[in-house]
Amino acid sequence: MKIRHLTQFLGIGGLERVLFILMQEQKRQGHDVELMVYDYEQGWVEHFKKQGLTVRHAYLKKAGYDRQLISQIDKYLHGADVVHTHDVNPKMYLAPLFLMNKIKGKKNPRFVHTAHGMDHIHSRPVTQWYERMTSVVVDAVVGVSRPVCDAYIQKLNVPERKVHLIENGTPLPESDQYSKIECHRQLVERFKLDPNHFIAIAVARVVPLKDQKLLVDAFRSLSNATLLLVGPSGDDQYWQELERNKPANVIMAGGQSDIDRILAGADIFVSASHHEGIPVSVLEAGAMQLPCLLSSIPGHETLQTKSTKSIARFFPVTDKEKFIQSFTELQTHTSLRDEIALNLKELVRKHYSARIMCDKYLSLYTR
């Protein structure tokens, strides 16, 4: 099958990691897979290429609505069976292209769009109108969580028959792929960490919605632990505020490509996020059998609903004192950490593997 993915940007965020995982699995299964990215943020293009994935990025979008981009996309899609978009911007170019092709009697590839979250609707209300208009020509809209699907049906008035739930997935490492001891040693050396500290890691774009500020403030009281914040800046003012005020045991590492190896060297994964779909960073931590301390939000708690065993520790969103209390408990009790980490890994294997996610998309492509 000839599959062509489209996205406006290719930074190092959750959307991009899901796209990377999906393309890798589709290629592994023998499909003809490519990606086109056309705007200025292309920080992860070389990482995709080094992993053997084809990325088309020669054309750079002009400011405003670039009509020439429509013809560039048309050439890119020549002979494709499926076009798969991952943010609203490429939908805004595909919609007029597909309508023109229909008028000309030209066959369009099957059009699938994945919504990795609804943050754009809240931050820029005008995107509600863009989503409504462009969804007319889409064959299928995928939400990565039930709330995302419900937003398309109830708020954006997309017909229910078009909306499908496909939760994120992650690769499952081989049992001997990572040495915990070696990865821990490399992590300490790479970021100049205290080797005697308990190492916590948070992986997310640095924006107020992810509430890294709560984590930074909490670690003032956790003097025998280090917090490694991994993720690019999504809000420069917020980043600078954290950088100015963080204690010495908080390291801001920025965007990193080898998330799996970093996770393998840590002792615990933490997230204080106020909103998530199905967070790929938590799934990645689970695949690495890393215990998790998570905010009590639907995106996190959805994972717990699929298991009768405890898969993480949860604390009320924005509650710093409860976070510190739960963190200290997990830091102290090795057996508790091991139990929830093993339970989460088993949950990921059964429900959230890259293979499961890919198979659901392939089924949708051919439906």
Is pTM beyond 0.85 here? yes
**Same domain assignment for residues 235 and 163:** no
**Same domain assignment for residues 125 and 12:** yes
Distance between CA atoms of residues 207 and 234, nearest Å: 5
Q: Is residue 128 in a domain?
A: yes
Distance between CA atoms of residues 120 and 123, nearest Å: 5
The domain in which residue 144 lies consists of 2-169+354-366
The pLDDT of residue 176 is above 70: no
pLDDT of 191-249, one tens digit each?
Answer: 999 999 999 999 999 999 999 999 999 999 999 999 999 999 989 999 999 999 999 99
pLDDT of 66-83, one tens digit each?
Answer: 999 999 999 999 999 999
**Same domain assignment for residues 145 and 199:** no
The pLDDT of residue 119 is above 80: no
The residue to which tokens 């066959």 are assigned: 107
| Lowest mean pLDDT segment, chosen from 122-131, 210-219, 235-244, 330-339 | 122-131
pLDDT band at 175 (very low <50, low <70, confident <90, very high): low
Alpha-carbon dihedral angle through residues 24, 27, 28, 30, given to the nearest 10 degrees = 170
pLDDT the model gives residue 277: 80
**Same domain assignment for residues 206 and 304:** yes
**Same domain assignment for residues 258 and 152:** no
* Residue 101, CA atoms < 13 Å, CB-side half-sphere: 19
Report the CATH number at residue 296. Answer: 3.40.50.2000
pLDDT band at 116 (very low <50, low <70, confident <90, very high): confident
Number of domains making up the chain: 2
**Same domain assignment for residues 161 and 239:** no
The pLDDT of residue 364 is above 90: yes
Average pLDDT over residues 251-265: 92
**Same domain assignment for residues 124 and 200:** no
Instruction: Copy the structure tokens of residue 3.
Output: 């599959």
